[in-house]
A = this chain, B = another copy of it.
Amino acid sequence: MQGQAQQQAYDRGITIFSPDGRLYQVEYAREAVKRGSASIGVRTEGGVVLAVDKHTRSPLMERTSVEKLHKSDDHIGIASAGHVADARQLIDFARRQSQINRLRYGEPIGVETLTKEVTDHIQQYTQVGGARPFGVALIIGGIEDGEPRLYETDPSGTPYEWKALAVGADRGEIQDYLETNYSEGMDLDGGIDLALSALGAVNDDQLSPTGVGLATVDVETEQFRMLDDDEVEGYLDELDILEDEDGDEQEE
Contact = CB atoms under 8 A, between A and B. Distances in A.
Contacts of A131: 127-129
A245 to B, nearest CB: 16
B17 A32 contact: yes
Interface in A117-173: 119-120, 122-123, 125-135, 151, 156-165
B89 A123 contact: yes
Contact of A85 (B62, B86, B158, B161): B158
Given A28-B18, A28-B21, A131-B129, A151 B65 contact: yes
A172 to B, nearest CB: 11
B85 A126 contact: yes
Interface string A108-124: 00000000100110110
A21 B34 contact: yes
Interface in A50-66: 58-62, 64-66
Interface in A1-44: 4, 6, 8-25, 28-35
Interface stretch (A95-103, A174-182, A213-221, A229-237): A174-182
A17 B88 contact: no
Contacts of A30: 21
A60 B160 CA distance: 11
Contact of A60 (B20, B127, B157, B179): B179
A120 B133 contact: no
B84 A156 contact: yes
Contacts of A240: none
A83 interface: yes
Given A9-B8, A64-B161, A85-B157, A135 B21 contact: yes
A88 B127 CA distance: 13
Interface of A: 4, 6, 8-25, 28-35, 58-62, 64-67, 83-86, 88-89, 92, 116, 119-120, 122-123, 125-135, 151, 156-165, 175, 178-179, 182
Top 8 closest pairs, chain A to chain B, by CB: A21-B31, A65-B161, A21-B32, A85-B157, A17-B28, A62-B161, A85-B123, A84-B158
